[in-house]
Chains A and B, each alone.
Chain A
């Protein structure tokens, strides 16, 4: 049956917890990150309106940097380890190296042609399998959404796969009494939520200011080994990966321009333009 199993290596309550309820819990956090094209530098072909992908630098999705920072801060306070996971083409290694340079302990890369064409469902399935394989963890952190797709779906879908509580849109995060507590920005409503560990939290940018990887750490990060896992390493059902495992299918792509009729240009001289605009607004019963 699909998604029936839960992570096996979670920390279970022990007698010691009962004797000493304030004993600090060790935080083993997995951060899921995505490498995205740096949209600020994106350019389009003027005629077709399609994206010029060639030569666009890739970066760690900005929201995900805040998730990495949150995990590092938890480790500083509670001990434990920070593991980064990312699925993508081979260049995703750069993003993982950078996360290691920020201070993460380990990284796992998911790269295989079978993963190509994944929608959010297949992506979450693949990341979920990897998280189960990593084993000892009690918190998953994700950025609220990726700046390219902007679906905000993968976090909640991983939580569902792992059958753990999800708490989205965190603007603050703390661990107390073995539980995770967040301040959630749910539109106009601010809530304080608390969940037992293990849990998954997606973070907003307000949560912290991500550190910049220092130069010497970047050099060190290149010495670390990053395992690359394929479908064979993950197990799972072959037909659930990549394009084949994706319920959603792209049907077509087109230019969305809903152009108005031809724009009527008002005079360039400010005073004349203003007078003309007022006349128009009166005519349209706005004034």
Chain B
């Protein structure tokens, strides 16, 4: 095939690190943890690539999180993320240094950048992966993602193209330990582009205050599905969440029905969370949803259908009407707290 490259010329495992004001995105650190494991299986170094302006001690922080080499492009023109600029810098580094694997967090930025890069590099990119591994026998990067319909998961490989790329869902990989004693090499990348050459201009940029806490950081989450998506039940869920110091999340259908915003959506098209306590309220348990919650430590499911799939993902189940079960739990908790 005309576009094939000599795949043996490509060695090394890279993680694109997304940052804002010098602070790395959590998913980028998660990927450094996973990247170390992949690099070890390949017998190569783990390289972090980070772009921005005035990054301060960020490169050293990435070393502490496991990078053995940090490629740093620092320039005022890179202060804010812009697709073409970032693609130019990363693609330039890839073409020069030829890594065999390049992984990117599946954040809004990563999902904007990775496809543009993959097309330019003539590389395959698996989107929104939930698992990454190395087939050591064939020296191939194997990525796993939920496939159409969600009840199945697909593993995908890129046998003839390099680098092998993937975007990875935030929250799927555990956060690695930070070890201050680690050493690594910091390599500056040349940035040749000037602001006047940039086609897309940012006229305004503002961080929106999100309502409520971030569900991906919450230790306790009550999640509402269509079985709890009526005003009376939702009010009970809110009340119970308050008593349990929990955040309220929702399934896709409940979000589409307007009960919460997409920020609070758990599942394949929402967030992946791993709280200590997860209470599924009126959730059937379609795999599109459970894809986002199976990392939870203790799962309690309440559903009036004893055959609901969600019970297969739960430690404890209650078969019953939410409008009767929730008030009973609320009463018990209030009694416990002496209210």
Residue-wise interface mask of A (166-206) relative to B, using a CB-CB cutoff of 8 A (1 in contact, 0 not): 11110000000000010001111111111110000000000
Contact partner, B84, options A51, A165, A239, A244, Cβ 8 Å = A165
A3 to B291, CA, bound (A): 37
A121 within 8 Å of B by Cβ?
Answer: yes
Given contacts A240-B3, A263-B317, contact A119 B149 (CB under 8 A): no
B142 at the A/B interface (Cβ < 8 Å)? Answer: yes
A159-B84 Cα distance, complex, nearest whole Å: 10
* B residues contacting the other copy or chain, number (CB 8 A): 87
**Interface on chain A toward B: helix, strand, loop, or mixed SS?**
mixed
B160 CB within 8 Å of chain A: yes
* Residues in B neighbouring A263, C-beta threshold 8 A: 301, 311-312, 314-317
Chain B 151-164, CB-CB to A under 8 Å as 1, else 0, gives: 11111111111000
* Cβ distance A94 to chain B, nearest Cβ, rounded Å: 20
B60: Cβ under 8 A from any A Cβ: no
Q: Closest B-chain residue to A45, C-beta based?
A: B151
Contact B317 A264 (CB under 8 A): yes
Minimum CB distance partner of B114 in chain A: A153
B19 at the binding interface (Cβ < 8 Å): no
Known: A249-B157, A249-B159, A268-B320. A260 touches B206 (CB 8 A): no
Neighbour of A166 across the interface among B112, B208, B276, CB < 8 A: B112
- B8 interface contact, C-beta 8 A: no
Q: Answer whether A237 and B202 are a contact pair too, CB < 8 Å, given A166-B83, A250-B156, A256-B146.
A: no
B residues lining the A interface (CB < 8 Å): 1-3, 81, 83-84, 87, 107-109, 111-116, 118-120, 122-128, 142, 146-149, 151-161, 199-208, 210, 220, 244, 268-269, 276-277, 287, 290-291, 294, 298-301, 311-321, 324-325, 327-329, 331-333, 336
- In order of increasing CB-CB distance, the 6 nearest A-B pairs are A247-B124, A151-B127, A153-B115, A274-B328, A256-B153, A248-B124
Can you list 17 A-B pairs with a CB-CB distance of less than 8 A?
A2-B122, A121-B125, A151-B128, A156-B83, A160-B120, A161-B119, A168-B108, A169-B112, A186-B112, A249-B159, A252-B154, A255-B152, A255-B153, A263-B301, A268-B320, A270-B320, A278-B336
